[in-house]
Structure 1
Amino acid sequence: MRTAIEALAAQAEAQIRDQSWTLTPADRSIAANASASLRTAIGTPHTQEAMPAVERLAHLREALAVLAVALAGVHGRLAWFLGAATTALTPVLHWRALPDDHGPTFGAVLPALEQYTDAEEAIRRLSDTLTRINTA
């Protein structure tokens, strides 16, 4: 996930730098709000790693909800960027932190701890990019 978000971030930053993407004031506001909300959802690496898996997963799902709300309010390049970022993070939706108790899990899987870290780092990178989008 981190690799996918890094590629999206680089593409977005290049489009802003070469002025093929001109941000509206509304885009800037949504980017700023989304960035702050993502930072709130996903704390520092030390904080996240100290949490039990079920709480880490809840925070990752909260970050996806932040992206969905931001995506609902935009059009054009920012929508495409947020949509691609959300898609890159969708494996989180198939994760579970609880045992299956020998029942159906609807395809949910237990991720490795490294996968939590990868997703959290991807979201931090996404937040940084949204901050740069807002200030470009």
Structure 2
Amino acid sequence: MRTVIEELVKEAERLIQEQVWVLISTDRTVAAKAAADLHTAVGTEQFQQTLSEVARLEHLREALAAVAIALAHVHGRLAWFLGAAATALTPVLHWRALPAEDGRTFGAVTPALAQYVEAEDAIRQLQSFLASIATA
């Protein structure tokens, strides 16, 4: 997840630098709101580590929802970027933090702690990039 987001950010930065992607005011506005929402959903690493797995998963799903909502408000390159980011984050939709009493989970799996950390890092990286283009 982290690697995919990292590659998306590098590609986006290159497109902006080469002026293939020219940011418009709508892009900046949506990026600013998404960055704020992502920061709210997934705070610092230290804070996230104090939370239960249920709360961490809830925050990750909130972050994915923030990306989806931002995607709904834009078109063009920012939409394509956010769509790819949402796709990269979709594994969190198949995670569960609660035990399965009867064994049936609709395919949901319990992630390792390292997977929570990786997903949270990916979201922080995405948040940082969106904040940077909001003020570019």
Q: TM-score, normalization: structure 2?
A: 0.98
Task: Give the whole-Å Cα distance in 2 for the aligned partners of 1:14 and 1:128.
Answer: 16
Unpaired runs of 5+ in structure 2? Answer: none
Matches within 5 A, 1:1-136: 1-136=1-136
CA distance in 2, matches of 1:50, 1:113: 13
Pairwise CA distance, 1:27: 0.8
Give the structure-1-normalised TM-score: 0.98
Distance in 2 (alpha carbons) for counterparts of 1:15 and 1:132: 14
How large is the Cα RMSD of the aligned pairs? 0.6
Deviation per residue, 1:1-44 (Å, 9 max, x gap): 00000000010011111110001101100000100110000010
CA drift at 1:135: 2.1
The 2-side partners of 1:6 and 1:133 are apart by: 15
Instruction: After TM superposition, give the deviation of residue 102 of structure 1 in Å.
Output: 2.4
> What is the distance in 2 between the residues matched to 1:127 and 1:92?
17
* Displaced runs of 4 or more, over 6 A: none
Partners of 1:31 and 1:130 within 8 A in 2: yes
Amino acid in the other structure paired with 1:108: A
Query: Could you say what secondary structure the match of 1:89 adopts?
Result: helix
Say whether the 8 Å CA contact 1:34–1:66 is kept in structure 2. yes
**Contact 1:29-1:134 within 8 A present in 2 as well:** yes
